[in-house]
Structures are given as structure tokens and as C-alpha cells.
Amino acid sequence: MCFFKLLIGLLATCAVVSAQNNTTICDTNSVSALLSCYNTYLNGYNMSLINNALPDYWDFHTIRMNWLEQNGIHVQPNICIMFRNLQKCVQPYSCLNGAGAYTQMGAYNSTEAFDWWLDFVVSQFQCNAGYNALMQEFYCISFCGSYHEAALDACSDQMHQQIANGTDVCVATQGFLDCHKNIITGCCDNLAGAYDCNLQLAAMNATVNPCINMGKLTCPSMAVKLPNKQPNFDAITKIRENLALRAELIHN
Ligand SMILES: *[C@@H]1O[C@H](CO)[C@@H](O)[C@H](O)[C@H]1NC(C)=O
Ligand SMILES: *[C@@H]1O[C@H](CO)[C@@H](O)[C@H](O)[C@H]1NC(C)=O
Ligand SMILES: *[C@@H]1O[C@H](CO)[C@@H](O)[C@H](O)[C@H]1NC(C)=O
Ligand SMILES: *[C@@H]1O[C@H](CO)[C@@H](O)[C@H](O)[C@H]1NC(C)=O
Ligand SMILES: *[C@@H]1O[C@H](CO)[C@@H](O)[C@H](O)[C@H]1NC(C)=O
Ligand SMILES: *[C@@H]1O[C@H](CO)[C@@H](O)[C@H](O)[C@H]1NC(C)=O
């Protein structure tokens, strides 16, 4: 079971990686085409393939995080333009449907292959269905995610305990989604809570998730919107520090 602590700047961490392992094998031509798509994408971050293979995922991640930290939400549209171009480019290659394709593209190991795939899945959400909510709630969610980190962690601890105690996995997972969402809603607003829940769900979908496939997990619609709180710009410096710290913690 994979769950995600952090929601912003694509810092989705998967506490227990159970990577989808049964993905379609890409043929040689598809792998070349996918690598070419990724090379263009990486060029947008002043990076490129290394020996015709993907670079270290965390090198890429760090560059994007630094860019966000230095410029804030203003660069999110650029991040999404580059990502949507990647999406268009890889769209013909349906074998890009799990970590396996990234192993074929030369990811360093299976963990990194999954990290690339998870990044793709989460970006897909953030740059499409979740985009407007992300643009509106970026600072509030960043701040609240840091401020309430312990409570958010407790949501996943509780889920694990419940599963260990024999609670149905889908019931426990829905409890996790609700617990997480309620904290973010209380700290920001309904839209932020809905965004958080839908992001968790999208990220869970990076692995084969029977609860999602059976339609047993639900989140509120992101269309439901109450007046949003103004971003607290005094908090932004703190957020940047937190993001930097978090990136470091995850990296190490
Ligand atoms: C793929 O997943 C199944 C079920 O989760 C597991 O039994 C199997 O060992 C995995 N295969 C590989 C190659 O990792
Ligand atoms: C794994 O691949 C096999 C062969 O293509 C397929 O029959 C099976 O349904 C797949 N399992 C999953 C969990 O996708
Ligand atoms: C890439 O390099 C250009 C030129 O130095 C710079 O303006 C831009 O911010 C860099 N992009 C990233 C994502 O660091
Ligand atoms: C995967 O590769 C990365 C980059 O070389 C390395 O930091 C990490 O420890 C490796 N992970 C595993 C599980 O081998
Ligand atoms: C799980 O069971 C233990 C032992 O009965 C209990 O102390 C704990 O509160 C339970 N946790 C949850 C989340 O239900
Ligand atoms: C999960 O993935 C399936 C298969 O790609 C897709 O049909 C479904 O819409 C996804 N669900 C979510 C919540 O992202």
C-alpha cells in the first residue's frame, strides 16, 4: 500500500512503494520515441538524457523544486506547459502505463522508475483536472501541509493500524482520505480539501489499486468552491524554507 504525505510541488512521497509491476513492454521504437519526448521535457529544465537514458530522478526533482522555491507559483504555469507538451508527445505510446516503461528508459533502479512514473501521474493531475485548484490554493496548502504535518502523518498511521487490526483496506483508505482532507479543509477551505483528496487518489492510482478499481474511494468535486482565503505572503518565506528542508529530507 502506497500513501502520500505531501501534496505540493510534486513532493509526493510514497511511504511503501508497491510499484505496479505488470506493465506492457515497450518495443525498441517506442522506447526511443519516449526518450526523445523526455529529452525535450528535460531540456526545459536545462537537463538532458545521459547516454540516451533518463538522468537521476532526484536531480530533476531538485532542479524543479529550486525553481519553484525561487519563483513561487509564478512558474507553475510554465511547469504545466512543459508537462502538457510531454503528455502530448508520449500520448501515442500506450506502453507508458507504469514504472516498467521507465526501467526500459534507463531509470537507475526500480525505485527511481517508480518515482518517474509517480511524477508523471501526479503531474497529470496537477496540470489538468487539479490545475485551477492548485493555482488558487498553492500557498495555503503548502503552508497547512507543513503546519499540520504531524496530524497528517497521524492520518496514515491510523490507516495502517486499522488495516493491521483487520479493518477493510478500502474503508481504512477512505478514512485516510477523509482525515487528510478534513485537516486541509479546516486550515484552508473546501476547494483545498477537495484538491488534496483528489491528488491523493490520483497518486494512489499510480499503483494497481483495487479500491479505486472497485470505485470504493471517493473525494468531493473540486468544482465546489467556497470563498478562498487570501494567501498569507508573510508565510511564503517559511513555506520555501519548509519545502527546501523537505526536499532535503526526502533526498537523504
Ligand atoms: C508482481 O506483483 C505480484 C502481485 O503483487 C507479485 O506476486 C509478483 O511477485 C510481482 N512480480 C515481480 C516480477 O515483481
Ligand atoms: C498482467 O499481465 C497478464 C498478461 O498480459 C494479464 O493477463 C494480467 O491480467 C495482468 N495483470 C494485471 C494485474 O494487470
Ligand atoms: C535554465 O537556464 C536559463 C538560462 O540560464 C534560466 O533562465 C532558467 O531559469 C533555467 N531553468 C531552470 C528550470 O532552472
Ligand atoms: C536507486 O538509485 C538511486 C540513484 O543512484 C540511489 O540513490 C538509490 O539508493 C537507489 N535505490 C535502491 C533501492 O537501490
Ligand atoms: C488497533 O487495535 C489495538 C489493540 O486492540 C488498539 O489499541 C488500537 O486502538 C486499534 N487501533 C485502531 C486504529 O483501531
Ligand atoms: C485510475 O486509473 C484508471 C486507469 O488508467 C482510470 O480509468 C481512472 O480514471 C483513474 N482514477 C483516478 C481517480 O485517477
Ligand 2: which of 18, 20, 21, 22 to mutate, most ligand atoms within 8 Å of CB?
22
Domain positions in the chain are 2-126, 138-251
- Rounded to whole angstroms, how far apart are CA atoms 108 and 144? 34
119: CA distance to ligand 4 center in Å? Answer: 16
Closest ligand to C-alpha of residue 113 is 4
* pTM strictly above 0.85: no
50: CA distance to ligand 6 center in Å? Answer: 32
Nearest CA to ligand 5 atom 8: 161
Across the range 198-220, mean pLDDT stands at: 92
Degrees, nearest 5: CA angle 145-147-152: 55
What percent of the chain has pLDDT above 90? Answer: 67
Return the closest-CA partner of residue 118 out of 248, 209, 213, 241. Answer: 209
Q: What is the pLDDT of residues 162-172, one digit of tens each?
A: 999 999 999 99
